[in-house]
Structures are given as C-alpha cells and as structure tokens.
Amino acid sequence: MLLPRAEAEEYASWFKALADATRIQIVSLLARRHAPMTVGEIVAASGVGQSTVSHHLKILAEVRFVLVERQGTSSLYRINEACVSCFPTAADVVMGNPVPASPACD
Amino acid sequence: MLLPRAEAEEYASWFKALADATRIQIVSLLARRHAPMTVGEIVAASGVGQSTVSHHLKILAEVRFVLVERQGTSSLYRINEACVSCFPTAADVVMGNPVPASPACD
DNA sequence: ATCGTTAATCGACGATAGTCGATATATGGG
DNA sequence: CCCATATATCGACTATCGTCGATTAACGAT
C-alpha cells in the first residue's frame, strides 16, 4: 500500500540532485555544450566559487548525471545523456511504473 | 549561455517538491488510489504526525501535484494527474526543451 | 451555543544543505 | 626537485527543511 521507505528515499535522492538552482544551471550548461568542460570553465560560466562548483559536481556525479574523466591536471566533466533520459519522471515514480535502476545508467 | 537564474529556480522548485521521501510516499499513495483521501486517512497510512502530513500536502499543492477540496470538516486531497504528467523530465530541463508552464496544469 | 472532530497554523528543535575562504592534493613542466 | 596550476577537501557559518507537540480555526451535530 505505502511505498517502501527505502524505495522512496532512492527516488527522492534523484530528485534532490536537481533540487537546486545552481545544479540546474550547471547541468544545463554541460548539456548545451556537447563537449566536456573543465571545472575552471564551469566556474567562469556559473558565477559561483570554485569549491562550490566542485561540491555540486560531486553531487551530480554521485547520481550519474555527469561523468568525470581526469586529463592532466584538470577534470573533464560531461553530461551523461543516457542517465538523464532514464531519470524517472514524476509520473513514473508516482504511478508506480517500473523505474530503471541507477547502475543501469552509464 | 547560462540558464537564467529565475528559470533555474523555478525548475528547482518543482524537483524540490519531490525531493523528500515522505512526500514521495504521500504522492504515490494518492496516485495508487484513484479516489480522494482525507488528511486523516493519509496520516494513518503514512506513519508520520498530522501536522507533518498537512505541511507536506501544502507543499505538494503549491506546485499543483495534488488538488484539495474541502468537504464538511475534512479536506479531500487527490492527485493531479495532468500536472504530474506534465512535470518536466530531467532531460527536458537539461536539454532546454520547452517545459509547460506551471499554471497550465489544472 | 456548546461540544467534538478534523485540519491548518505556530513555535521550537535538530539535522541537513549551500556557500565561502583556506588548505591540501595531484599533475605536469622547467 | 621545486614550482605553478587545477581541482578536491576541510572548517565554519548561515539558511532552509523535516518533524513534533500544542494551539487555533472551521465545521457539523446535538
């Protein structure tokens, strides 16, 4: 009857990743460019501090919205198109439709 | 280049409404029943306090995920299927696809 | 009008989250 | 080996959030 707590927490954590305006801006920035960006480029474009950007990128990477690859002294972040499009819609979560598991998105 | 802050805030507020496990449970509860529920019924089913449920219902109603109608001494809450299905997916927000305005969902 | 029931609001508390500045860590070049 | 650059982590501060208990407000019935 009631959705199991653990399942609700997992869905919530996905929505939580986009529940911040700065993260929305970062994600949309990465998506509009179809090329990877360094942290420095994102900092310059976003208007918030470097440590803040790094913090948000970590959160976005934990739910696989973005992928990271180190190259030399810099980190290249890019959008994970597969994961973004398999992100559950509100309708899916709410209606109990099957939702692809998080590890399925690479 | 960068998504305007106001737009990002609006998207974030929608995701924020589902960024809590208890709210996910309440919304999915209302969606599985296709009939309205009173606050008391939701309290009994959800396992959290009455004031907490009322608080969450208010948040869900503000973004139009649920609709409320007073009947006698009780309030009947039901899912707003139209608004749920027009909720922007991560892909829409991120890729810059047109997103239906919030007032369009009734 | 009063009482009982239902729901919304208030006040408080602890926990979490966003931001910053400073520091630490890694990496490549001279 | 040391330095410069790029990023990650840490510590602190503030603001917001989720939850509760208590109170208030709305409504129906007696």
- CATH number, domain with residue B83: 1.10.10.10
Model confidence at B91: pLDDT above 70? no
Q: Is residue A102 part of a domain?
A: no
Instruction: Please give the residue that has the higher pLDDT: either A28 or B90.
Output: A28
Calculate mean pLDDT across residues B55-70.
Answer: 96
Element (H, E) at B70: strand B66-71
| Host domain of residue A44 | 5-90
The A residues from 30 to 59 touching B (CB cutoff 8 Å) are 31-32, 45-47
Model confidence at B8: pLDDT above 60? yes
| DSSP label at residue B10 | H
Calculate mean pLDDT across residues B78-93.
Answer: 76
Q: Integer distance in angstroms from CA A27 to C1' C26? A: 26
> What's the structural domain count of chain B?
1
pLDDT of residue A83: 75
Supply angle C-alpha A58, A101, A7, rounded to 5.
Answer: 90
pLDDT of residue B82: 81
pLDDT of residue A102: 46
pLDDT of residue B100: 54
For an interface test with A, give the residue of B23, B66, B89 to mutate (most A CBs within 10 A). Answer: B89
pLDDT of residue B1: 84
pLDDT of residue B22: 98
pLDDT of residue B103: 39
Contact list in A for residue B94 (CB cut-off 8 A) is 27-28, 31, 79, 84
Q: Is residue A104 part of a domain?
A: no
Element (H, E) at B85: helix B81-86
For an interface test with A, give the residue of B18, B42, B43 to mutate (most A CBs within 10 A). Answer: B18
- Per-residue tens of pLDDT for chain A, all 106 residues: 899 999 999 889 989 999 999 999 999 999 999 899 999 999 999 999 999 999 999 999 999 999 999 999 999 999 998 877 767 676 676 666 666 554 345 5
Calculate mean pLDDT across residues B58-65.
Answer: 95
Report residue B30's pLDDT band, with 50, 70 and 90 as the boundaries: very high
Give the chain B residue whose CA is nearest to the CA of A93. Answer: B28
Find, among A100, A91, A81, A87, the residue nearest to A19 by Cα.
Answer: A87
Sheet containing B74-79: order of strands? B37-38, B74-79, B66-71
Model confidence at B47: pLDDT above 60? yes
Element (H, E) at A57: helix A50-62
A6 in the Ramachandran plot: left (φ > 0), alpha (ψ -120 to 50) or beta?
Answer: alpha
Q: Is residue B45 part of a domain?
A: yes
Of B18, B22, B94, the CB nearest to A15: B18
Q: What is the rounded CA–CA span in Å between residue B42 and residue B34?
A: 14
Q: What is the rounded CA–CA span in Å between residue A79 and residue A82?
A: 9
Contact list in B for residue A2 (CB cut-off 8 A) is 25, 29, 45-47
Element (H, E) at B74: strand B74-79
Could you please report the per-residue DSSP string of A73-95?
TEEEEEE-HHHHHHSPPHHHHHH
Q: Is residue B106 part of a domain?
A: no
Cβ separation A12–B19 shorter than 8 A: yes
Q: Is residue B71 part of a domain?
A: yes
